[in-house]
């Protein structure tokens, strides 16, 4: 089959980006969207051009590395499917596909279709865990967890952190991502002791990163490859409200949203420094 | 060279307790003065970095992905074993130990495996406390399933995403330490060399994958949790980025590489559909419980499957193994699929596939029952192939999916370089010649949470390490090696892409060092690998520069290492004149075609010592002794 790929090309964060159209004459209905890009990249390298940078790793829909907009839809037209598992048979012969990176202030551009999602890591670092150090756990059956709670926690925990929710949201809100972790841990008895402060810290960090607010549009859950339900955002708002009352005497700090990539001995900033 | 595995003597139940008691401790106040490097952020690396941070060490953790949460442990589906005996079905630490030694076809160390079984119970407790949403019974207790042919139900799981949930648990523990300031996380940073000073591992050289900067990081010990090398086959179930570079560069600095030819092939993957194929997708082994595997009796029979009448079908597993039938172990099922395809009876466009047919099960149990059992797998199959497995038999073919070999480590998980520890799939330790289902997650977390945090402390307390800085000649030497290799790759400017070489290399290794091997084939492979490697260094084209984000350059360095590893795999397979577990040498089989072990001559770990580029590596043997589980022949007839 034939398709035309109109791809966003941007050499670096500071360079000006533009769309470049590439005709693909030898696409196969069984190949995935990423394999189609592989084939194109092989041709580009042979022609002496710069291949298209895109993020990918497991290619079975679970690592969360891949993702871009196809014709304005995060991860493309097939529901509950990441671009690595999206096969070309879902497109029409001769169709033009517009590929764009996730666009959000909190996801700075790196190159072509690759963006920096460390803001998600910082949201988790701000409180997305249960504070239990290795070795101090009681027997696995010491605390009973109703099956229904375990199932609901699992629904929220299925998030792969790809960022499609942010890219799809007109406000570039990370509420679905943040809410998924708050709901996952808040539902389980093990996560109850820190439920209030966790929500407070994570939401504060989410805001500090420059993600927009949630206005209940629901684009996020519509494109989510793991179909995280919208109700996790309600759980987040509830826990945040309660947390901001109960924990009002606690100072909540945030991690500075850094975008630098300096490392090693030349590390100029301390990624751990709380501000 | 003499290897000392540091296995203590005494009754096997007490070895780990005694070892821990005899360890020297680092004073809590001194811990923060020690800096440690952890490379890799999967189940092993992530859990080690988090646990060492909690203890108060100064930890730097590195991963090549954009976030530590992407490590390939995340893709594990089935579950994690633990000898909890919650089901009251007769499981015990000893039984898990016994099953693992036997399943590994008697090529693993008893002491290590026993410790793994002991620790398994603590892993579940730890993960539950972290909020891993394991499957539960209605009463709220943890549920189990039986997995991989085990006769007891000891596998804990979180839907089909157990690896994901365990990894997120470790990742969250890691991020907690990042926030606490004990761990500094370096994503998009790849280790490209090991710094060895006065015989001790003292640091690493890294490349920042965004800016291209080459940096050095110095520390008191280095821990590698960098995964397996299945991608040497190009097509595998591994993530595209999984590579052997960190392990291999450490090997070239003196860490012995053990049993490289022990690789595991999984029988139920979706077959290759074309030459653009970039990776293989695993389908759960549970499908073999109800599906029947067959191929046409006649060579080149191109009729659609539902037009092939019963009498023209060969249910070859049921025919050859009447008692186990379609449920024979992974290695046996894989090998037989290869045989029928080699005979020209394979199905699908490429002829590399066999049918897994649910028609009988649907007739017997009804479509609804099959939907309940395998609905999500059938959906995934249909999404990828466009065929409806309720109507048309599935096509499956084996694919590489785990590597038992890896860097040699002693009982403390320390390699042959003092101060270099290796954990998880990256080491060779606990699975012998064949890994059992649901044991990889167990080993990764056991090493990371509960072993290496102790053994590293003992190393620090018993070794007086001089202070080193970046002007040391060994540091500058390592940086120069990395820069030289980068420049060399960029300067070749040949005609072929990195992927085209990788694909060709993978095919050689798959054809001659895959499911079955012969002395002649392995020799052919070694010659072909050397020839292709020669071409690689003259004709590869790596576009772009070393000063920015350059995915082709990343791949080029990794493929260069795969070439060298591929040759060592073949050398190791050629040297091991027996068949055991995943290593099947056609010359060594029983009269009825099963693997024939040679315990008298090959009951050892083959550890290889690097002897310079292009030279034959030197074999160092660590003899294996079996005091508790006595070697026996596996039979599935």
What are the pLDDT digits (tens) for B45-58?
999 999 999 999 99
Cα dihedral B150, B154, B158, B163 sign: negative
The DSSP element (H or E) to which B553 belongs, if any, is helix B551-575
Q: Which of chain A's residues have a Cβ under 8 Å away from the Cβ of B136?
A: 145-147, 150-151
User: Which pLDDT band holds residue A274 (cuts at 50, 70, 90)?
Assistant: very low
pLDDT of res. A258:
85
Rounded mean pLDDT, B471-500: 96
pLDDT of res. A273:
41
pLDDT of res. B242:
98
pLDDT of res. B81:
96
Q: Which of chain A's residues have a Cβ under 8 Å away from the Cβ of B122?
A: 135, 137
* B379 and B481 both lie in a single domain: no
pLDDT of res. A269:
38
Q: Between chains, do B179 and A144 touch, taking CB under 8 Å as contact?
A: no
Q: Which of chain B's residues have a Cβ under 8 Å away from the Cβ of A144?
A: 139-141
Q: Which of B142, B108, B137 is nearest to B123 (CA)?
A: B142
Q: What is the pLDDT of residues B6-44, one digit of tens each?
A: 999 999 999 999 999 999 999 999 999 999 999 999 999
User: With 60 as the cut, is the pLDDT of residue B538 above it?
Assistant: yes
pLDDT of res. A271:
39
* B371 and B495 both lie in a single domain: no
pLDDT of res. B213:
93
The lowest-confidence range among A101-105, A202-206, B551-555, B592-596 is: B592-596
Active site residues of B: 330
Residue B352 lies in a domain: yes
Q: How many CB pairs under 8 A join A and B?
A: 253
* B274 and B394 both lie in a single domain: yes
- Percent helix, strand and coil across chain A, each to the nearest 5: 35, 15, 50
Residue B88 lies in a domain: no
Q: Tokens representing B634?
A: 């596996």
* B394 and B502 both lie in a single domain: no
Label residue B81 exposed, middle or buried (CB < 10 Å: 0-12, 13-18, 19+): buried
Q: Which of chain A's residues have a Cβ under 8 Å away from the Cβ of B548?
A: 12, 111
Q: Which of A31, A65, A265 sits opposite B276 (nearest CB)?
A: A31
Distance CA B575, CA B566 (A): 14
Q: Which of chain B's residues have a Cβ under 8 Å away from the Cβ of A263?
A: 186, 189, 206, 208, 213, 215
Q: What is the pLDDT of residues B170-195, one digit of tens each?
A: 999 999 999 999 999 999 999 999 99
**Secondary structure of residue B599 in the 3-state scheme:** helix
Number of structural domains, chain B?
Answer: 2
**A50 min Cα distance to partner chain B (Å):** 7
Residue B536 lies in a domain: yes
Pairwise pLDDT comparison (B512 vs A253), residue with the higher score: B512
User: Which pLDDT band holds residue A262 (cuts at 50, 70, 90)?
Assistant: low
Q: Which of chain A's residues have a Cβ under 8 Å away from the Cβ of B276?
A: 28, 31, 35, 38-39
User: Which pLDDT band holds residue B632 (cuts at 50, 70, 90)?
Assistant: confident
Q: What is the pLDDT of residues B218-248, one digit of tens each?
A: 999 999 999 999 999 999 999 999 999 999 9
CATH number of B580's domain: 1.20.58.100
* B394 and B480 both lie in a single domain: no
Q: Which of B60, B66, B31 is nearest to B48 (CA)?
A: B60
Strand partners, A270: none
Distance CA B451, CA B521 (A): 40
Q: Of B368, B398, B428, which closes a domain?
A: B398
Cα dihedral B398, B402, B408, B412 sign: negative
pLDDT of res. B329:
79
Q: Which of B198, B613, B617, B263 is nearest to B425 (CA)?
A: B263
User: With 90 as the cut, is the pLDDT of residue A267 above it?
Assistant: no
CATH number of B358's domain: 3.90.700.10
pLDDT of res. B59:
97
Q: What is the pLDDT of residues B557-602, one digit of tens each?
A: 999 999 999 999 999 999 999 999 999 999 999 988 888 999 999 9
Q: Between chains, do A264 and B175 touch, taking CB under 8 Å as contact?
A: no
Q: Between chains, do B175 and A55 touch, taking CB under 8 Å as contact?
A: no
Q: What is the pLDDT of residues B113-157, one digit of tens each?
A: 999 999 999 999 999 999 999 999 999 999 998 876 678 999 999
Taking all residues of chain B, what is their mean pLDDT, rounded to a whole number?
A: 95
Residue of B nearest to A11 (CA): B549
Taking all residues of chain A, what is their mean pLDDT, rounded to a whole number?
A: 94
User: With 50 as the cut, is the pLDDT of residue A270 above it?
Assistant: no
**B239 min Cα distance to partner chain A (Å):** 4
Q: Which of B65, B137, B276 sits opposite A28 (nearest CB)?
A: B276
Q: Which of B126, B130, B543 sits opposite A45 (nearest CB)?
A: B543
User: With 50 as the cut, is the pLDDT of residue B551 above it?
Assistant: yes
Q: Between chains, do B66 and A116 touch, taking CB under 8 Å as contact?
A: yes
Q: Between chains, do A89 and B128 touch, taking CB under 8 Å as contact?
A: no
**B633 min Cα distance to partner chain A (Å):** 37
Q: Which of A185, A208, A188, A186 is nearest to A123 (CA)?
A: A208
* B577 and B492 both lie in a single domain: yes
User: With 90 as the cut, is the pLDDT of residue B429 above it?
Assistant: no
Q: Of B367, B383, B398, which closes a domain?
A: B398
Q: Which of B128, B135, B187 sits opposite A118 (nearest CB)?
A: B187
User: With 60 as the cut, is the pLDDT of residue A266 above it?
Assistant: no
Alpha helix ranges (H) inside B353-451: 359-365, 367-385, 440-445
Residue of A nearest to B60 (CA): A264
Q: Which of chain A's residues have a Cβ under 8 Å away from the Cβ of B164?
A: 62, 158, 160
Pairwise pLDDT comparison (A270 vs A43), residue with the higher score: A43
Rounded mean pLDDT, B512-527: 97
Per-residue burial over B484-521, b = 16 or more CB atoms within 10 Å of its CB, e = otherwise: ebbeebbebeeebbbbbbbbbbbebbbebbbbbbeeeb
Angle formed by the axes of helices A231-246 and A195-208, to 10°?
A: 110
Q: Between chains, do A132 and B126 touch, taking CB under 8 Å as contact?
A: yes
In percent, the amount of chain B with pLDDT more than 70 equals 100
Residue B556 lies in a domain: yes
Residue of A nearest to B240 (CA): A57
Rounded mean pLDDT, B607-627: 96
pLDDT of res. B149:
67
Q: Which of A127, A140, A272 sits opposite B184 (nearest CB)?
A: A272
- Ordered DSSP codes for B142-176: B--B--TT-SS--EE-STT-HHHHHHHHHHHHHHH
Distance CA B97, CA A92 (A): 55
User: With 90 as the cut, is the pLDDT of residue A244 above it?
Assistant: yes
Residue B357 lies in a domain: yes
Rounded mean pLDDT, B184-207: 97
Q: Between chains, do B208 and A137 touch, taking CB under 8 Å as contact?
A: no
**A92 min Cα distance to partner chain B (Å):** 15
- Choose the mutation target among B43, B121, B136, B478 for the interface with A, i.e. most A CBs under 10 Å: B136
Residue of A nearest to B547 (CA): A12
Residue B356 lies in a domain: yes
pLDDT of res. B383:
85
* B480 and B588 both lie in a single domain: yes
Q: In this structure, what DSSP letter does residue A107 have?
A: B
Q: Between chains, do B67 and A121 touch, taking CB under 8 Å as contact?
A: yes
Q: Between chains, do B385 and A30 touch, taking CB under 8 Å as contact?
A: yes
Q: Between chains, do B131 and A28 touch, taking CB under 8 Å as contact?
A: no
Label residue B328 exposed, middle or buried (CB < 10 Å: 0-12, 13-18, 19+): buried
Q: Of B335, B366, B398, which closes a domain?
A: B398
**B385 min Cα distance to partner chain A (Å):** 7
**Secondary structure of residue B401 in the 3-state scheme:** strand
In percent, the amount of chain A with pLDDT more than 90 equals 90
Q: Which of chain B's residues have a Cβ under 8 Å away from the Cβ of A147?
A: 136-138, 140
Query: Hey, what domains does chain A have and what are their CATH numbers?
Result: 3-100 (3.10.20.30), 117-246 (1.10.1060.10)
pLDDT of res. A264:
53
* B497 and B393 both lie in a single domain: no
Distance CA B375, CA B354 (A): 21
Q: What is the pLDDT of residues A63-87, one digit of tens each?
A: 999 999 999 999 999 999 999 999 9
Q: What is the pLDDT of residues A119-171, one digit of tens each?
A: 999 999 999 999 999 999 999 999 999 999 999 999 999 999 999 999 999 99
Q: What is the pLDDT of residues B245-299, one digit of tens each?
A: 999 999 999 999 999 999 999 999 999 988 899 999 988 887 888 899 999 999 9
Residue of A nearest to B449 (CA): A134
The boundaries of the domain holding residue B290 are 265-398
Residue B541 lies in a domain: yes
Residue carrying structure tokens 């649901």 = B438
Residue B494 lies in a domain: yes
**B143 min Cα distance to partner chain A (Å):** 10
Q: Which of chain B's residues have a Cβ under 8 Å away from the Cβ of A110?
A: 210, 549
């Amino acid at each position: 089959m034939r398709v035309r790929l109109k791809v966003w090309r941007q050499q670096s964060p500071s360079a000006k980006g533009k769309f470049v159209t590439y005709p693909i004459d030898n696409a196969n209905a069984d190949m995935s969207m990423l394999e189609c890009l592989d084939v194109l990249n092989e041709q580009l390298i042979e022609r002496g051009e710069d291949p298209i940078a895109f993020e990918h790793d497991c290619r079975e829909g679970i690592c969360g590395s891949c993702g871009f907009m196809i014709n304005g839809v995060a991860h493309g037209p097939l529901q509950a499917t990441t671009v690595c598992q999206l096969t070309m048979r879902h497109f029409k012969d001769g169709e033009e596909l517009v590929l764009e990176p996730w666009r959000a202030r909190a996801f700075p551009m790196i190159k072509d279709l690759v963006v920096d999602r460390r803001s998600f890591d910082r949201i988790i670092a701000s409180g997305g865990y249960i504070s239990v150090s290795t070795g101090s756990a009681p027997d696995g059956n010491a605390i009973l967890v109703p099956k229904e709670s375990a199932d609901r926690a699992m629904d929220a925990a299925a998030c792969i952190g790809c960022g499609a929710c942010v890219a799809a949201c007109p406000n570039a809100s990370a509420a679905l991502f943040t809410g998924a972790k708050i709901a996952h841990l808040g539902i389980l008895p093990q996560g109850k002791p820190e439920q209030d402060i966790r929500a407070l810290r994570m939401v504060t960090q989410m805001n500090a990163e420059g993600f927009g607010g949630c206005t209940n549009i629901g684009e996020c859950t519509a494109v989510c490859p793991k179909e995280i339900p919208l109700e996790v955002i309600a759980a987040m708002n509830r826990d945040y409200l309660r947390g901001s009352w109960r924990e009002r005497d606690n100072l909540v700090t945030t991690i500075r949203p850094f975008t630098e990539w300096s490392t090693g001995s030349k590390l100029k900033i301390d990624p751990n420094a709380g501000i | 060279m003499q290897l000392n595995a540091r296995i203590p003597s005494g009754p096997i139940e007490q070895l780990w307790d005694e070892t821990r008691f005899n360890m020297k401790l680092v004073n809590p106040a001194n811990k923060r003065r020690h800096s440690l490097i952890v490379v890799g952020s999967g189940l092993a690396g992530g859990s080690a970095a988090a646990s060492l941070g909690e203890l108060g060490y100064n930890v730097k953790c590195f991963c090549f992905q954009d976030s530590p949460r992407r490590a390939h442990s995340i893709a594990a589906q089935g579950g994690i074993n633990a000898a909890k005996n919650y089901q009251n079905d007769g499981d015990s630490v000893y039984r898990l130990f016994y099953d693992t030694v036997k399943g590994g076809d008697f090529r693993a160390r008893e002491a290590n495996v026993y410790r793994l079984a002991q620790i398994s119970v603590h892993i579940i407790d730890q993960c539950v406390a972290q909020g891993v949403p394991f499957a539960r019974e209605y009463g709220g207790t943890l549920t189990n399933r039986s997995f991989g042919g085990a006769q007891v139900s000891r596998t804990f799981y979180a839907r089909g995403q157990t690896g994901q949930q365990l990894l997120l648990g470790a990742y969250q523990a890691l991020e907690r330490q990042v926030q606490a300031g004990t761990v500094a996380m370096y994503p998009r940073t790849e280790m490209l060399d090991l710094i060895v000073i006065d015989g001790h591992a003292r640091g690493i050289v890294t490349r920042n994958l965004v800016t291209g900067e080459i940096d050095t990081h110095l520390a008191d010990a280095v821990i590698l949790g960098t995964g397996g090398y299945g991608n040497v086959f190009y097509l595998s179930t591994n993530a595209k980025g999984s590579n052997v570079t960190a392990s291999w560069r450490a090997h070239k600095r003196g860490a012995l590489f053990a049993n490289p030819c022990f690789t595991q092939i999984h029988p139920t993957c979706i077959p290759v559909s074309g030459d653009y194929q970039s990776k293989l997708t695993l389908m759960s082994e549970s499908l073999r419980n109800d599906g029947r595997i067959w191929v046409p009796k006649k060579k080149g029979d191109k009729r659609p499957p539902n037009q092939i009448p019963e009498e023209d079908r060969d249910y070859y597993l049921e025919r050859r193994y009447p008692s186990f039938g379609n449920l024979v172990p992974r290695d046996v099922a894989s090998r037989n699929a290869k045989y029928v395809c080699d005979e020209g009876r394979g199905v699908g466009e490429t002829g590399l596939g066999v049918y897994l047919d649910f028609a009988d099960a649907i007739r017997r149990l009804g479509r609804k029952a099959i939907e309940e059992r395998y609905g999500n797998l059938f959906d995934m199959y249909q999404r990828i192939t466009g065929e409806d497995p309720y109507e048309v038999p599935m096509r499956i073919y084996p694919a590489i999916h785990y590597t038992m070999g890896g860097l040699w480590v002693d009982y403390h998980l320390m390699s042959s370089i003092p101060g270099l520890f290796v954990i998880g799939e990256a080491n060779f330790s606990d699975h012998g010649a064949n890994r059992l289902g649901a044991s990889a997650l167990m080993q990764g977390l056991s090493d990371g949470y509960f072993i290496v945090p102790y053994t590293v402390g003992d190393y620090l307390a018993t070794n007086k390490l001089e202070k080193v800085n970046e002007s040391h000649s060994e540091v500058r030497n390592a940086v120069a090696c990395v820069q030289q290799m980068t420049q060399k790759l960029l300067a070749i400017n040949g005609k072929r892409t990195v992927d085209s070489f990788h694909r060709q290399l993978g095919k050689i290794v798959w054809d001659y060092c895959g499911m079955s091997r012969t002395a002649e084939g392995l020799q052919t492979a070694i010659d072909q690998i050397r020839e292709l490697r020669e071409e690689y260094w003259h004709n590869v084209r790596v576009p772009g520069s070393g000063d920015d984000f350059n995915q082709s350059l990343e791949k080029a360095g990794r493929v260069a290492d795969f070439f060298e590893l591929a040759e060592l795999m073949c050398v190791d397979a050629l040297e091991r004149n027996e068949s055991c577990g995943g290593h099947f040498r056609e010359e060594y089989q029983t009269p009825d075609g099963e693997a024939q072990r040679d315990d008298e001559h090959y009951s050892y770990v083959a550890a290889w010592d690097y002897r310079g580029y292009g030279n034959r590596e030197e074999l160092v043997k660590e003899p294996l002794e079996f005091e508790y589980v006595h070697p026996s022949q596996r039979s599935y007839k």
